Amino acid sequence: MEDCLAKKMEITVSEAEKRTGKNAMNIQETYTAYLIETRAVESQSEGQCAPVDSLWRRYSEFELLRNYLSVTYPHIVVPPLPEKRADFVWHKLSADNMDPDFVERRRIGLENFLLRVASHPVLCQDKIFYSFLTQEGGWKDMVNETGFQLKADSRLKALNATFRVKNPDKRFTELKHYSDELQSVISHLLRVRARVADRLYGVYKVHGNYGRVFSEWSAIEKEMGDGLQSAGHHMDVYAASIDDILEEEEHYADLLKEYLFYAEALRAVCRKHELMQYDLEMAAQDLTSKKQQCEELATGTVRTFSLKGVTSKLFGQETAEQREAKIKILEEQIQEGEEQLKSKNLEGRDFVKSAWADIERFKEQKNHDLKEALISYAVLQISMCKKGIQVWTNAKECFSKM
Amino acid sequence: AAGAPKPLPSSGPKSLREMPHPLATSSSEEIGPALTPSPDLLLPRSIADKDLGLPNGTPVDTSSPASSSSLLNRLQLDDDLDGETRDLFVTVDDPKKHVCTMETYITYRVTTKTTRAEFDLPEYSVRRRYQDFDWLRNKLEESQPTHLIPPLPEKFVVKGVVDRFSEEFVETRRKALDKFLKRITDHPVLSFNEHFNVFLTAKDLNAYKKQGMALLSKMGESVKYVTGGYKVRSRPLEFAAIGEYLDTFSLKLGTIDRIAQRIIKEQLEYLVELREYGPVYSTWGGLEVELSEPLEGVSACIGNCCTALEELSEDMTEDFLPVLREYILYSESMKNVLKKRDQVQAEYEAKLEAIALKKEDRPKVPTDVEKCQDRVECFNADLKADMERWQNNKRQDFRQLLMGMADKNIQYYEKCLTAWESIIPLLQDKPETK
């Protein structure tokens, strides 16, 4: 962590701005641009502040960056972006992408993403990432020139395809299972939390009606009037207090969401491993069959049914030269195959080693972050309870003066 | 004069209803013949023997008569509205279910302790059912038409499918019946009513009920007032004001009732979601290793909040709503009494008009009109006095009711606060320190 970018550079996503422009299909569209500000962390002991660099990026560019990182570092659990569309909303929240609250929460999420990448021991050293932060023009071209798209396409197809691995790595299978369960439980939690927030909102707001009716009632009372009126005011305060409480709770929900998406990233690593394993098994299988073919040609025995066997029966045997040629080709292929298998094995072992290192790092981060999240949630609940006690104590005092 | 029947400001979470009645104990200790029955007697010794507590719940050392009489003085200061000393105490408790061939019903024990001369014994204990209370109320309305008779809880269960024999329903009803009798006990005129006396004392109330008609005729004085047939010219200002007040008052109470019901409904819906929410943390805890305990802790916490919320909603349903409804009924019956008063005034006005038209000088007519005038003036005086008393009691009752509502909410939040504060150390616990 000593070398990571986050220690050397201050990164913030400080502003969001609505823009209009023509997109790739020359159609006018409205989008939001985010201002990324960076500043080198120099020795600030002399009060000298390094200059701030800044540039604007839109969400799609963040997506491009993340895709690039995912493809280029398949063994890393790449930090996720904040959600593209508002999900898990309860009635008061807007599902509109242009809604200022949504934009604000997204701004925070994007900053968090950049900080996560910048503090990752491997990812922070990536040049494309650095350019994303510092080079406004021509960055997109730079990314495309890496050719990661080609890898991305083939891997994407493979990731979605169903295939069976004969000898799966138990640890990765368990991890994939865990990430599936984690996604499921966090989604469930977020859905129910949204409903809970909705209901709680209702409870608080209905109390506002007491404010009005106490006021009306106080008008016909003599001694009771003042007490009723002031108690009614406290009921209004109570009803209004829920807005801030639930807004704060959204930050907790956002953190849970981050780990929901992190679970996806974790799953992707497992899937990539599966793919590698499958490739390996296919390559080994292919090699075995070629060796077998070679043997058959050399010894003249046909062990398995093959088209060659049939055609040779129909059209006569091959000449000795033909057979020799075939054997030579096969031997070349076999040699190539063995080399490939060797490198694939190495690749696989490297992948597993570095993937597990990152998975361990991720586990620690996750446990730490979620614990902090739960603490902040408890603190939020405590604050809400204290506010409730305060308001009702005030109301009680007003009632006592009736 | 201990004041438990009248609500007093409570500084502690215990509502006054939960306070032991100064003379209500399970012991069968009698106020023996050693005490001279006199309305002025403060009964210090008997009270000193019983379980007493200050309104805020702290028990009182009653070993010395001095301390208990100072207690009584304290209670009396807040309580003594009419300058009367208490000599009649009535309590409703101990509901019991009776299963007979024809029907099943509940009876309540009505305990009376008194020093009044109108009562043969200083203490009574009888069992009464709802229809007996209903009978009493009707009798009081008949025999004391110029006074405000407190309302009874509703006869039939109106909304929803409520179990007539459920503990909550019976307890709510018991409280209302207790309140009903205490309000009559408080009343300087109604508490001396003959029917009330019989209700409190007779072993066989049914026999008395049958004799009812015969008894009335023996009483001589006709207490029947003419109702109907006359139109009042105008209500005197003060009664018009009362009428207007009652209209707005019952409207506002109706609104408050609806709001309270809505809040309870929203709370129960919130509770449904919370009940699903808590266990999800537990499920998650099952997936994790290091986070297992913190997640379980949060799940348990939410469970505690659910319990607290359930208690709050129950309390509001059982303690808050019935009292509101009682006052709405009270307003309705008061408006009826106002109408009766109007009738009496109308009769008087009509008779006056008749004289003016006749222009005769018959000796019979003036007496007749005089009687009417008397009736009007009596009615007005009784009603005015009752209204004042009612206003004061209303203020006390609502003060207690609303403070109680605030209290229940405070308790709810305190329970939740305790739950969440207690898991903070659990959440902050580092595995290395274990």
Residue A63 lies in a domain: no
- Is A222 a member of any domain? yes
Q: pLDDT (tens digit, 9 = 90+) per residue, B330-356?
A: 999 899 899 888 888 888 888 888 777
pLDDT above 80 for A57? yes
Q: For residue A364, what are the domain limits?
A: 153-301+323-401
Confidence bin at B74 (pLDDT 50/70/90): very low
Count of the separate structural domains present in chain A: 1
Spatial distance between the Cα atoms of B316 and B322, rounded to a whole number of angstroms: 9
Residue B365 pLDDT > 60 = no
Q: What is the 3 state secondary structure string of chain A?
A: CCCCHHHHEEEEEEEEEEEEEECCCCCEEEEEEEEEEEEECCCHHHCCCCCCEEEEEEHHHHHHHHHHHHHHCCCCCCCCCCCCCCCCCCCCCCCCCCCHHHHHHHHHHHHHHHHHHHCCCCHHHCHHHHHHHHCCCCHHHHHHHCCHHHHHHHHHHHHHCCCCCCCCCHHHHHHHHHHHHHHHHHHHHHHHHHHHHHHHHHHHHHHHHHHHHHHHHHCCCCCCHHHHHHHHHHHHHHHHHHHHHHHHHHHHHHHHHHHHHHHHHHHHHHHHHHHHHHHHHHHHHHHHHHHHHHHHHHHCCCCCCCHHHHHHHHHCCCCHHHHHHHHHHHHHHHHHHHHHHHHHHHHHHHHHHHHHHHHHHHHHHHHHHHHHHHHHHHHHHHHHHHHHHHHHHHHHHHHHCC
For B47-56, the pLDDT digits (tens) are 433 444 444 4
Question: Which H or E element spans position B240?
Answer: helix B237-287
| pLDDT at position A1 over 90 | no
Q: Do B409 and A392 touch (CB under 8 A)?
A: yes
Distance from CA of B330 to the nearest CA of A (A): 17
B152 part of a folded domain? yes
- Give residue B186's Cα distance to chain centre: 12
| Contact between chains at B428 and A375 (C-beta distance less than 8 A) | yes
CA distance B266 to B283: 27
For residue A303, the model assigns a pLDDT of 58
Asked if residue B64 has pLDDT above 60, the reply is: no
Judgement on whether residues B398 and B291 belong to the same structural domain of the protein: yes
Q: Say if residue B183 is in the same domain as residue B306.
A: no
User: Residues B116-143: pLDDT tens digits?
Assistant: 988 999 999 999 999 999 999 999 988 9
Structural domain count of chain B: 2
CB contact under 8 A, A202 and B399: no
- The Cα A89–Cα A156 span in angstroms is 30
Handedness of CA B159, B164, B168, B171 (dihedral sign): positive
**Confidence check: pLDDT of A219 > 90:** yes
Same domain, residue pair B321 and B193: no
d(Cα B134, Cα B188) in Å, to the nearest integer? 21
**CATH code (residue B97):** 3.30.1520.10
Please give the residue of chain B at the shortest CA–CA distance from A395: B406
**Tokens describing residue A293:** 């073919």
pLDDT at residue A330, rounded to an integer = 85
Q: Which residues, other chains included, contact A249 with Cβ-Cβ below 8 Å and sequence gap of 6+? A: A193, A197, A377, A380
Q: Is A378's CB within 8 Å of B298's CB?
A: yes
In a domain, A385, yes or no: yes
Q: How far is the C-alpha of A364 from the C-alpha of A371, rounded, in Å?
A: 11
pLDDT tens figures, B203-216: 888 888 877 655 55
Domain assignment present for residue A314? The answer is: no
- Could you tell me if residue B229 is left (phi over 0), alpha (psi between -120 and 50 degrees) or otherwise beta? left
Which is nearest to A115 in space by CA: A5, A39, A41? A5
Q: Determine the pLDDT at residue B72.
A: 44
The average pLDDT across A374-378 equals 96
**Are B202 and B235 members of one domain?**
no
DSSP code for B230 = -
| A280-338 tens-digit pLDDT | 888 898 889 888 888 887 776 655 666 666 666 665 566 777 878 888 888 888 888 89
Q: Which residues of A306-341 are buried (b: 16+ CB within 10 A; e: fewer)?
A: eeeeeeeeeeeeeeeeeeeebbeebeebbeebeebe
Whether residues B193 and B236 share a domain: the answer is no
Does A51 score more than 50 pLDDT? yes
Residue B414 — very low, low, confident or very high, per pLDDT cuts 50/70/90? Answer: very high
The distance of Cα B409 from the centroid of its chain, to the nearest Å, equals 22
Is the confidence at residue B425, as pLDDT, over 60?
A: yes
Q: What is the pLDDT of residues B366-408, one digit of tens each?
A: 677 888 888 889 889 999 999 999 999 999 999 999 999 999 9
Distance from CA of A186 to the nearest CA of B (A): 8
* B236 plus B314 within the same structural domain: yes
For B281-326, the pLDDT digits (tens) are 999 999 999 999 999 999 999 999 999 999 999 999 988 998 998 8
Q: Please report the pLDDT score of residue A329 as a whole number.
A: 85
Query: Does residue A371 register a pLDDT over 90?
Result: yes
Choose among B287, B291, B417: nearest Cβ to A382.
Answer: B417
Q: How many CA atoms lie within 13 A of A33 on its CB side?
A: 14
Q: Residue B362: give its domain's CATH number.
A: 1.20.1270.60
Contacting B residues, span 251-310, partner chain A, CB-CB under 8 Å:
252, 255-256, 259, 262-263, 266-267, 269-270, 272-274, 276-277, 280-281, 283-284, 287-288, 290-291, 294-295, 298, 301
Q: Which amino acid is at A50?
A: A
Residues B179-203 pLDDT 10s: 999 999 999 999 999 999 999 999 8
Q: What is the dihedral sign for C-alpha A229, A230, A232, A236? A: positive
Tokens of residue B142, six digits:
């008949």
Please report whether residue B31 resides in a domain. no
Please state which of the ranges A80-94, A262-276, B265-279, B294-308 shows the lowest mean pLDDT. Answer: A80-94
B361 has a pLDDT exceeding 70: no
Domain that holds residue B266: 231-429
Residue A222: which CATH number? Answer: 1.20.1270.60
Smallest CA–CA distance, residue B95 to chain A, in Å, is 33
What's the mean pLDDT in A116-139?
92
Among residues B299, B310, B381, the alpha carbon closest in space to that of B344 is found at B381
Q: How high is the pLDDT of residue B28?
A: 40
Mean pLDDT of chain B: 78
Q: Does B416 touch chain A (CB under 8 A)?
A: yes
Give the DSSP H/E element, type plus range, for residue B396. helix B364-428
* Pairs across A and B, CB distance < 8 A: 135
Whether A103 maps to a domain, the answer reads no
Closest CA to A280 of A346, A350, A355, A345: A345
- Separation of alpha carbons A163 and A292, rounded Å: 25
B288 by Cβ neighbours in 10 Å (0-12 / 13-18 / 19+) ranks as: buried
Please state the ipTM of this predicted complex.
0.88
Q: Let me know whether B154 and B257 are in one domain.
A: no
Q: B410, B423, B424, B430: best mutation site toward chain A, by most A Cβ within 10 Å?
A: B410
Same domain, B185 and B296: no
* pLDDT, mean of residues A108-119: 94
Residue A196, pLDDT > 60, answer yes
Per DSSP, the residues of B287-335 read: H-STTHHHHHHHHHHHHHHHHHHHHHHHHIIIIIHHHHHHHHHHHHHHH
Q: Tokens in use for B233?
A: 């010219």
Q: Is residue B2 part of a domain?
A: no
A86 contacts A166 by C-beta, under 8 angstroms: no
Give the closest residue to B404 by CA, choosing from B175, B237, B240. Answer: B175
Does A94 map to a domain? no
Nearest residue on chain A to B416, judged by CA atoms?
Answer: A385
pLDDT over 70 at B34, yes or no = no
Test B270 with A199 for CB contact under 8 angstroms. yes
Same domain, B353 and B265: yes
Asked if B372 and B252 sit in the same domain, the reply is: yes
**Min CA distance, B284 vs chain A (Å)?**
6
pLDDT band for position A94 (50/70/90)? low
pLDDT band for position B17 (50/70/90)? very low
Considering the domain boundaries, does residue B52 fall inside one?
no
pLDDT given at position B21: 46
pLDDT at A184: 97
3-state secondary structure of B125: strand
- Which residues are paired to A21 by β-bridges? A29
Task: Give me the pLDDT at residue A41, please.
Answer: 79
User: Measured between alpha carbons, how far is A84 from A264 in angstroms, rounded to an integer?
Assistant: 15
Q: Which of B141, B171, B206 finishes a domain?
A: B206
B55: helix, coil or strand?
coil
Spatial CA neighbour of A88 closest among A197, A242, A179: A197
Mutate to test the interface with B, among A174, A190, A200, A220 (most CBs of B within 10 A): A220
The reply to whether B55 falls in a domain is no
Determine how many CB atoms are found less than 10 A away from the CB of residue B74.
16
Query: Is A57:A33 a contact under the CB 8 Å cutoff?
Result: yes
pLDDT at A318: 65
Residue A47 lies in a domain: no
- Whether B187 and B256 share a structural domain: no
Any domain includes B295? yes
Residues B313 and B196 in one domain: no
For B269, name the nearest residue in chain A, comparing CA atoms only. Answer: A199
**Is residue B264's pLDDT more than 50?**
yes
What dihedral do alpha carbons B56, B61, B64, B69 form, nearest 10°? 0
Q: Answer yes or no: is pLDDT of A377 > 90.
A: yes
Angstrom distance (rounded) from CA A6 to CA A1: 9
Q: Which position has the token pair 């405590």?
A: A382
Residue B33 pLDDT > 50, yes or no? no
B410 and A393 in contact by Cβ < 8 A? yes
At position A372, the amino acid (one-letter code) is: E
Distance from CA of A234 to the nearest CA of B (A): 11
Q: Determine the pLDDT at residue B162.
A: 65
Q: Are strands B104-114 and A28-40 parallel, antiparallel or unpaired?
A: unpaired
Phi, psi dihedral angles at A241 (to 5 degrees): -65, -20
Contact A107, A13 (CB under 8 A): yes
- CB nearest A388 (choices: B274, B409, B424): B409
Provide the pLDDT confidence category of residue B433 given band limits of 50, 70 and 90. very low
pLDDT at B96: 92
Domain assignment present for residue B103? The answer is yes
The enclosing H or E element of B126 equals strand B123-129
Which pair of structure tokens corresponds to residue A146? 């890496």
Does residue A26 form part of some domain?
Answer: no
Whether the pLDDT of residue B328 is over 70: the answer is yes
- Residues from chain B that touch A199, judged by Cβ atoms under 8 A, are 266, 269-270, 272-273
Mean pLDDT of all residues in A8-34: 85
